[in-house]
Structure 1
């Protein structure tokens, strides 16, 4: 992926630096949702709506870990990378909202933290992994997760890391379109198993939307290099519920899935990638929501 030397986003809230970081840009908070259980969110990209959509008013948690330590050169580069990817999502989604939906896109803010921070959706830490909090319309990311993604989950490459960001921004797109709110209403009426099935649809749709972003990054921005799509597809497969359960020494139990199988995640990323159409992704929830 061609990202070095390119324009970054102004919607970065950097809490990593000594003294709490510098706020740049931002967005008004809307809605009220909660965090997924630590075990799931630590291993899987995105937030489990079964808790994200129902735990309004969770305690924000405590700052912890390495917050306030000086930033390393690796930290600086990771922050610059995320900022460029976020800027690309802003350009792409603004254009797609206008051309495909006749709507105006309001970008998310991305919070960079180191070790731990607070959010209206609960405590964010190195263990929780990246997530989107609809309560304040912000993505939370400790960039050390990129190391986990590569070393522990087997998803290498900068485009795999870009997929992480694009997936979380995909949840913001869902929030902008009112999908998360409708899911919240529906899930409160369902059994745990049926609620999980709605959760899977929400996560697969975010994968599909990240594929739409990747399509546009290639066709309109020209920043995609040979092998990038394979990196993203591999990442999607590595964080499927069945693969994560197998790697944890468990027998895959589909009724417990909240994000979808490896095959499903790769399939829906590929659907967005090949079509470049938001409407293809919305088909996942049209019949349910």
Structure 2
């Protein structure tokens, strides 16, 4: 069962970097977030679905879940909604911030697609607690944010922002917004038909080669996140870009494997090294042009 409602254009149009009572620049998002929000943003408004899931929590290494885009679609399932759209987006500073970030990605990519003579189909942001279900299977907190092409939704555990600060030492508004923009980048890849092409290639090669293709997918999504940032410079404050770069560095495969006490093995990488992630994020920020994000025909290390 789901409940849908539309956010007013006024709510949707407010600057996502606006301040709150917490002080400091932008939204200083509260840690230890608990909540359940699902947001869908359309050009004519915002639609939000809200779910809550109760189950145990596990903790493997993975953080960024873009690699889950290779998972097959699962059988349909029901979700229980408990709040209207407007209540969801105003549940706390984190939900409001997330709604505004996703709305800004829609505006950005809507214009980019329109300039290319195409129509952008918005994605949906699904917040869940500890564990939920997606069109690609289980959605677990240990997976981190991920995009599921089967239902064209972005999934984000409600404790994600807290983990981003405490586990990855990547605090700040832009660091949090960057990860949402990265997952929206996977949605852009899906709309362009690239996701299907890469999955087909991955199915016909060995694991190491499939991982290498996934790395290029992830780095392109990082670059697309940078493109989004470039188109929202008026909403970015001093120090925001540095926050995003620290986040990209913190979630590089080599950094994560070292943090887990492992020797980095390039063949096992699925998202790219810290240096690669920072490089491609910066490339998107510097240019604002998605054409520079072609990781499949360029050396990812230059």
TM above 0.5: yes
Residue number among 211, 222, 230 corresponding to 1:215 in the alignment? 230
- 1:113-262 equivalence runs, <5 A: 113-218=128-233, 222-262=234-274
Deviation of 1:39 after TM superposition, in Å, equals 3.0
Query: Which one of 55, 77, 84 corresponds to residue 93 of structure 2?
Result: 77
The whole-number CA distance in structure 1 between the counterparts of 2:175 and 2:206 is: 34
Task: Decide whether the 8 Å contact of 1:78 with 1:143 is kept in 2.
Answer: no
* Cα distance in 2 for residues equivalent to 1:76 and 1:17: 19
Deviations 1:130-153 (A, max 9, x none): 111100100111231110011111
The answer to whether the 8 Å contact 2:88/2:95 transfers is no
- Counterpart of 1:264 in structure 2 is 276
The Cα offsets for residues 34-91 of structure 1, whole Å up to 9 and x where unpaired, read as: xxx97354x2x23215xx32x424578999xxx989x999962211110000000010
Q: Which moved more, 1:118-127 or 1:235-244?
A: 118-127
User: How large is the Cα RMSD of the aligned pairs?
Assistant: 3.1
Q: What whole-Å deviation, never above 9, does each CA across 1:216-275 have from its counterpart, x for those lacking one?
A: 010xxx111000000001100000000000111111111110100000000000000001
2:50 equivalent among 7, 14, 17: 14
| Distance in 2 between residues matched to 1:193 and 1:17, nearest whole Å | 35
Asked if the contact 1:11–1:108 (Cα under 8 Å) also holds between the matched residues in 2, the reply is no
TM-score where L is the length of structure 2:
0.76
Question: What is the DSSP-based 3-state SS (H/G/I as helix, E as strand, rest coil) of the residue aligned with 2:49?
Answer: strand
Counterpart-to-counterpart distance in 2, 1:251 and 1:82: 35
Say which of 91, 106, 109 aligns to 1:93: 109
Tell me what 1:277 maps to.
289
Unmatched runs of 5 consecutive residues or more in structure 2: 1-15, 21-25, 27-38
Q: Deviations over 1:145-184 (max 9, x none)?
A: 1100111111110110001100110000000100100001
- Structure 1 residues 75 and 167: CA distance shift in structure 2, 3 A: same
With over 3 angstroms needed to count, the CA separation of the structure-2 counterparts of 1:253 and 1:75, relative to structure 1, is farther
Size of the aligned set, in residue pairs, is 255
* Counterpart residue number, 1:27: none
Q: 1:196 touches 1:255 (CA, 8 Å); kept in 2? A: yes
Shift of 1:124: 1.2
Q: Partners of 1:106 and 1:180 in 2: how far apart?
A: 15
Q: What is the rounded CA distance, in whole Å, between the counterparts of 2:231 and 2:186 in structure 1?
A: 18
8 Å contact from structure 1 (residues 212, 275) kept in 2: yes
Task: Please identify which structure carries the higher helix content.
Answer: 1
For residue 126 of structure 1, report the CA deviation from its aligned partner.
Answer: 2.3
Give the CA deviation at 1:127. Answer: 2.3
